């Protein structure tokens, strides 16, 4: 199996993903690009606030990770946001730098002043949100879109049209709006926007095909996670030929967040054999930076970047790990830790630990024991972990060993060093 797309030295996934009957239904573009919206949509998550310097640091890290486009912010929001966008553009980091704006000429002027190469332009697109949330006459959405997109184009900006609430709109109405903007205004690309994360994966092919039947332009996917469908929906859209993914680091964003970049790029790489050019080994480091600057605590078991993905507590899995060693690590994990920049796998001690875990831990600190002594330590580890409802620290384990084997723990630990 070595060398097959599902089984490499770095990962081991299901061969069924690459079955010809499965693959024949997919029509991925020749290149998938990532448009990062952490600095704009990510900051819309309640309680997340980025300073100008935070945004610059994150933009630099995104560039180091190989992201293709960065949506640096919405200049009209505040002087600080405008200053951040200008500075990010000035630094010439490598990715294309876009701004976000409403379909209003004044917003576009602010983007132009920042020196960006492109702009994502939003407009409400469902009749109900226009009437009830915006309280506009329907025609106003059309008129503003035409005027502002034409102006953006006249200023040399690449224009991505961004219809808010696209997936809850009446399809003919929203496609008519989009076509008028394309013909009378300007549009280089269209974002398929699932503002409230309400689209099911099986509806994606229908949506993409209906849009393509009436419109010949680049399509981009901007999908939310309210039902946890963002990654699946994004992959389904790409399999229908959508070319650009809008995503955020850690899935930050309004309510339940946006499609997370790290999960999407790794799914594409391992499950579909699509290399997006992202520097995968930077994903963990990037996640830690955004976690720190956003104040958003990342769950320990979050896919790709969770702190404990490669920690092994279960006794039977610890036994497997020792049998397989690092050479066959993908028997226990779908991909190796180095692929995403994670620390190496390790056996940790807690209520789920077994005898093999304890023997390995004793060996690591240079302590020999009988089978009976090791089992006594197993019981002590389980009891302490249960009492505190957490894993043991190194110091606590040494203390337990010392209580069972007086004099050996400290001597063994010193010898092991």
Q: Is residue 8 part of a domain?
A: no
Structure token pair of residue 373: 């002594």
Mean pLDDT score, 150-178: 93
Q: Looking at the predicted structure, is the pLDDT value of residue 296 above 90?
A: yes
Structure confidence at residue 326 (pLDDT): 72
Mean per-residue pLDDT, 308-323: 87
What pLDDT is attached to residue 317? 87
Share of the chain above pLDDT 90, in %: 78
Same domain, 285 and 389: no
Q: Is the pLDDT of residue 230 over 90?
A: yes
Do 28 and 115 fall into the same domain?
yes
What's residue 416's pLDDT? 47
The pLDDT tens digits for 6-53 are 999 999 999 999 999 999 999 999 999 999 999 999 999 999 999 999
Q: Is residue 6 part of a domain?
A: no
Q: Say if 192 falls within a structural domain.
A: yes
Asked whether residue 76 falls in the same domain as residue 205, the answer is yes
- Amino acid 417: pLDDT: 46
Of the residues 240, 269, 294, the one at which a domain ends: 294
Residues 198 and 95 grouped into a single domain:
yes
pLDDT at 109 over 60: yes
Residue 10 lies in a domain: no
Residue 415: is its pLDDT beyond 50? no
Q: Is the pLDDT of residue 241 over 50?
A: yes
Residue 218, pLDDT > 70, answer yes
Task: Grade residue 152 by pLDDT with cuts at 50, 70 and 90.
Answer: very high
Mean of pLDDT values over 82-96: 97
Residue 137's pLDDT band, with cuts at 50, 70 and 90, is: low
Residues 159 and 234 occupy one common structural domain = yes
Asked if residue 2 belongs to a domain, the reply is: no
pLDDT confidence bin for 80, thresholds 50/70/90: very high
Average pLDDT over residues 156-170: 93
- What is the residue-averaged pLDDT of the chain? 92
pLDDT band at 413 (very low <50, low <70, confident <90, very high): low
Residues 113 and 244 in one domain: yes
Residue 231 maps to a domain: yes
On whether both 282 and 182 belong to a single domain, the answer is yes
pLDDT-based confidence at residue 133 (cuts at 50, 70, 90): low
Model confidence at 1: pLDDT above 50: no
Is it the case that residue 138 has pLDDT exceeding 70? Answer: no
In a domain, 223, yes or no: yes
SS3 per residue for the chain? CCCECCECCCEECCHHHHCHHHHCCCCCCCCCEEEECCCCCHHHCCCCCCCHHHHHHHHHHHHHCCCCEEECCCHHHCHHHHHHHHHHHHCCCCCEEEEEEECCHHHHHHHHHHCCCEEEEEEECCHHHHHHHHCCCHHHHHHHHHHHHHHHHHCCCEEEEEEECHHHCCHHHHHHHHHHHHHHCCCCEEEEEECCCCCCHHHHHHHHHHHHHHCCCEEEEEEECCCCCHHHHHHHHHHCCCCEEEEEHHHCCCCCCECEHHHHHHHHHHHCCCCCCCCHHHHHHHHHHHHHHHCCCCCCCCCCCCCCCCEECCHHHHHHHHHHCHHHHHHCCCECHHHHCCCCCEECCCCCCCHHHHHHHHHHCCCCCCHHHHHHHHHHHHHHHHHHCCCCCHHHHHHHHHHHCCCHHHHHHHHHC
Q: What is the mean pLDDT of residues 212-233?
A: 97
Position 134 pLDDT exceeds 90: no
What total number of domains does the chain contain?
A: 2
The reply to whether 170 and 219 lie within a common domain is: yes
Task: Give the pLDDT of residue 103.
Answer: 86
Task: For 376-396, write each residue's pLDDT tens digit.
Answer: 999 999 999 999 999 999 999
Q: Percent of the chain having pLDDT more than 70?
A: 94
pLDDT at res. 293: 97
Q: With respect to residue 1, please indicate whether it lies within any of the assigned structural domains.
A: no
Domain final residue pick, 268, 294, 320: 294
Say if residue 253 is in the same domain as residue 358: no
Q: Mean pLDDT check: name the lowest of 128-142, 175-189, 289-303.
A: 128-142
Answer with the one of 233, 263, 294 that is the final residue of a domain: 294
pLDDT at 136: 67
Averaged pLDDT for residues 286-311: 96
Same domain for 246 and 390, yes or no, is: no
> The CATH number of the domain where 227 resides is what?
3.20.20.70
258 and 319 share one domain: no
At 411 the pLDDT is 58
335-355 per-position pLDDT tens digit:
999 999 999 999 999 999 999
pLDDT of 353: 92
Please check whether residues 170 and 51 belong to one and the same domain.
yes
Structural domain for 77, as ranges: 15-294
């Amino acid at each position: 199996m070595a060398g097959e797309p599902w089984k490499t030295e770095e990962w081991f996934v299901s061969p069924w993903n690459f079955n010809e009957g499965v693959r024949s239904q997919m029509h991925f573009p020749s290149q998938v690009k990532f448009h990062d919206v952490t600095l704009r949509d990510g900051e819309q998550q309640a309680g997340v606030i980025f300073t100008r310097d935070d945004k610059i640091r994150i933009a630099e890290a995104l560039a180091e990770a190989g992201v293709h486009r960065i949506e640096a912010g919405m200049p009209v929001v505040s002087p600080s946001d405008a200053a951040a966008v200008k500075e990010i553009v000035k630094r010439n980091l490598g990715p294309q730098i876009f701004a976000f704006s409403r379909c209003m000429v004044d917003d576009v002027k602010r983007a132009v002043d920042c020196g960006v190469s492109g702009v994502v332009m939003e407009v409400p697109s469902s009749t109900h949100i226009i009437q009830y949330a915006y309280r506009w006459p329907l025609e106003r959405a059309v008129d503003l879109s035409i005027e502002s997109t034409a102006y953006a184009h006249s200023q040399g900006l690449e224009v991505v049209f961004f219809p808010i609430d696209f997936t809850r709109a009446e399809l003919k109405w929203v496609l008519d709006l989009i076509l008028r903007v394309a013909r009378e205004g300007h549009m280089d690309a269209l974002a398929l926007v699932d503002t409230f994360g309400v689209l099911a994966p099986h509806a994606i092919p229908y949506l993409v095909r209906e849009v393509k039947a009436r419109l010949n332009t680049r399509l981009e996917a901007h999908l939310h996670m309210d039902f946890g469908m963002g990654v699946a929906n994004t992959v389904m859209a790409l399999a229908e030929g959508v070319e650009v993914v809008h995503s955020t680091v850690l899935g930050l964003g309004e309510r339940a967040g946006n499609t997370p970049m790290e999960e999407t790029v790794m799914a594409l790489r391992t499950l579909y054999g699509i290399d997006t050019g992202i520097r995968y080994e930077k994903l963990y480091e990037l996640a830690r930076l955004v976690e720190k600057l956003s104040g958003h605590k990342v769950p320990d078991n979050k896919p790709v970047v969770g702190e404990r993905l490669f920690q092994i507590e279960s006794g039977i899995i610890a036994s497997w790990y020792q049998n397989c060693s690092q050479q066959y690590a993908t028997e226990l994990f779908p991909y190796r830790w180095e692929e995403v920049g994670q620390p190496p796998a390790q056996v940790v001690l807690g209520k789920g630990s077994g005898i093999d875990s304890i023997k390995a831990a004793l060996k690591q600190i240079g302590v020999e024991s009988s089978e009976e002594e090791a089992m006594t330590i197993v019981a002590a580890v389980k009891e302490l972990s249960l009492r505190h409802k957490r894993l043991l620290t190194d110091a606590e384990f040494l203390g337990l060993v010392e209580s069972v084997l007086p004099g050996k723990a400290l001597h063994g630990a010193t010898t092991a060093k």
